[in-house]
């Protein structure tokens, strides 16, 4: 009887051991080895004509529910894709790997949202793979007339990232967006690297990367050429670091516009370093509306910036008015302070190379020009700087002569 009990106990221990090994192997697979969810296995067809939205969403849902490293995989080929929402939160570390080309719809009647590809509420997301996002914007640009038409149709951003944290977007190309290429809202701790953005210089409202209400965003090693701001930094953005970005064509790297709407959040802690601007309408720019909304933009630092044929290399414009009529009697209530422009050199296409046009109601404070060396492009003439309602200091070489 004793031997029988020992035998049963040994069988129990062996079973428990095997179960534990299986559980450990499953855990190690989930935690270490990635699991791929190929969109082709979900019915996606890379013919450039079939709408693959359902297949992509199914692959995303399975990858998002995977407790380890789930990978949505888009192989080489051209995949037509409608407007999709990839919703979190996800169970593990989820990635969206694009090797092929994603092509947006040209059917204007099918465009109903503000984004083509939308990731929302995801932590530890990676989007990359070396593929391309073709927004097919040329057909939509004639309708992008919201500045003149209050009843205009809202056009979708190519990729919208809402409430994404501890994540990265890298090694992607965005072509011909209908509206902005990338938009970040409510994001935190994100790295954006090796992005290539391209659209014609006259394509309307095609901002490269638009950021609002986001914190600790790092943008590096990217080339942006488009029809609007290369990077647009909006209300509530703070602790942004931008480096090694080539901008052009486009409207430069802009903070704002600010002050148009009520209850806007402050902008603070913005650093732009080691960037190049080629044939842009603006270089480094801060723009605010002459409107009654209050706010602040401060602790802003520009360093080691090269301008190659830029129309407005350095500009603060607190009378921003892209669409008339504007209230000429009103002064901006956005307080701009602690802004440094250091080691900025190259060529200006406009005689007014440095323009600091601040608010009469809220003059700019603690503005620093440190080692500015700008020359005129051919047929421009002598450069000058102009200051309005600004308090600050200048150091080192100043060409044109500083107005501070």
Written as six digits, the tokens of 209 are: 């990367």
DSSP bridge partners of 307: 277, 346
Reported pTM? 0.92
Determine contact, residues 100/74, Cβ cutoff 8 Å.
Answer: yes
Domains, the chain, ranges and CATH? 34-145+153-189 (2.160.20.10), 229-404 (2.160.20.10)
Q: Of 127, 85, 80, which Cα lies nearest the Cα of 104?
A: 80
Residue 331 DSSP SS3 = coil
pLDDT of residue 325: 67
Written as six digits, the tokens of 283 are: 């270089």
pLDDT of residue 328: 67
- Cα separation, 337 vs 340, in Å, equals 9
- Cα separation, 374 vs 377, in Å, equals 9
The one-digit pLDDT tens for each residue of the chain (404 residues) are: 444 444 444 544 444 444 443 444 444 444 579 999 999 999 999 999 999 999 999 999 999 999 999 999 999 999 999 999 999 999 999 999 999 999 999 998 888 899 999 999 999 999 999 999 999 999 999 988 776 776 777 899 999 999 999 999 999 999 999 999 999 999 999 999 999 999 999 999 999 999 999 999 999 999 999 999 999 999 999 999 999 999 999 999 999 999 999 899 999 999 999 999 999 999 999 999 988 789 999 999 999 999 999 999 999 999 998 877 677 678 999 999 999 999 999 999 999 999 999 999 999 999 999 999 999 999 999 999 999 999 999 999 999 999 99
Residue 328 DSSP SS3 = coil
How far the first Cα of the chain sits from its last, in Å, is 101
- Cα separation, 57 vs 45, in Å, equals 14
What's the burial of 32, exposed, middle or buried (CB within 10 Å: 0-12/13-18/19+)? exposed
Residue that is written with structure tokens 């602040």 in the block: 296
Residue 297 DSSP SS3 = strand
pLDDT of residue 29: 47
Instruction: Name, in order, each residue with C-beta under 8 angstroms of 373's C-beta and a sequence gap of 6 or more.
Output: 344, 345, 397, 399
**What single-letter DSSP state applies at residue 265?**
P
HSE, side-chain direction, 13 A CA sphere, residue 9 = 6
- Cα separation, 320 vs 41, in Å, equals 51
Determine contact, residues 95/127, Cβ cutoff 8 Å.
Answer: yes
pLDDT of residue 6: 45
pLDDT of residue 158: 99
Other C-beta atoms lying within 10 Å of the C-beta of residue 252 = 26
pLDDT of residue 292: 77
* Catalytic annotation, residues: 251
Q: Of 49, 149, 50, 156, which Cα lies nearest the Cα of 110?
A: 156
Residue that is written with structure tokens 């992509």 in the block: 56
What's the burial of 17, exposed, middle or buried (CB within 10 Å: 0-12/13-18/19+)? exposed
CA dihedral sign, ordered 112, 159, 95, 191: negative
- Cα separation, 233 vs 47, in Å, equals 37
What's the burial of 293, exposed, middle or buried (CB within 10 Å: 0-12/13-18/19+)? middle
Determine contact, residues 75/51, Cβ cutoff 8 Å.
Answer: no
- Cα separation, 144 vs 166, in Å, equals 33
**What single-letter DSSP state applies at residue 142?**
G
Written as six digits, the tokens of 146 are: 């919201």
């Amino acid at each position: 009887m004793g031997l029988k009990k020992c035998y049963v106990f040994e069988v129990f221990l062996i079973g428990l051991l095997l179960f534990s090994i299986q559980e450990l192997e499953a855990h190690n697979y989930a935690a270490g080895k990635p699991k791929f969810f190929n969109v082709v296995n979900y019915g996606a067809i890379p013919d450039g004509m079939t709408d693959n939205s359902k297949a992509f969403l199914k692959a995303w849902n399975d990858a998002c529910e995977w407790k380890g490293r789930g990978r949505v995989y888009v192989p080489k080929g051209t995949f037509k894709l409608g407007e999709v929402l990839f919703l979190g939160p996800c169970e593990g570390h989820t990635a969206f790997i694009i090797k092929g080309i994603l092509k947006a719809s040209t059917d204007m009647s099918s465009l109903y949202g503000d984004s083509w590809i939308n990731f929302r509420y995801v932590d530890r997301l990676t989007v990359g793979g070396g593929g391309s996002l073709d927004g097919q914007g040329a057909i939509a640009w004639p309708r992008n007339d919201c500045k003149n038409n209050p009843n205009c149709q809202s056009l979708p951003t190519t990729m919208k990232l809402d409430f994404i944290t501890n994540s990265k977007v890298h090694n992607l190309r965005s072509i011909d967006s209908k509206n902005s290429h990338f938009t970040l809202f409510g994001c935190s701790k994100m790295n954006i690297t090796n992005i290539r953005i391209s659209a014609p210089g006259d394509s309307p409202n095609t901002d490269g990367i638009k950021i609002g209400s986001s914190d600790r965003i790092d943008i590096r090693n990217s080339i942006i050429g488009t029809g609007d701001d290369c990077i647009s930094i909006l209300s509530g953005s703070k602790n942004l670091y931008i480096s090694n970005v080539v901008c052009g064509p486009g409207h430069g790297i802009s903070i704002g516009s600010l002050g148009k709407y009520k209850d806007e959040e402050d902008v603070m802690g913005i650093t732009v370093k080691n960037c190049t601007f080629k044939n842009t309408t603006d270089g480094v720019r801060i723009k605010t509306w002459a409107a009654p909304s209050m706010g602040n933009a401060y602790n802003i630092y520009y360093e080691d910036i090269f301008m190659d044929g830029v129309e407005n290399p350095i500009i603060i414009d607190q009378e921003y008015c892209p669409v008339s009529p504007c209230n000429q009697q009103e002064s901006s209530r956005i307080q701009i302070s602690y802004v440094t422009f250091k080691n900025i050199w190259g060529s200006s296409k406009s005689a007014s190379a440095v323009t600091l046009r601040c608010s009469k109601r809220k003059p700019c404070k603690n503005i620093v020009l440190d080692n500015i060396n700008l020359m005129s492009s051919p047929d421009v003439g002598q450069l000058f700087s102009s200051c309005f309602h600004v308090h600050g200091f200048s150091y080192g070489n100043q060409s044109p002569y500083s107005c501070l």
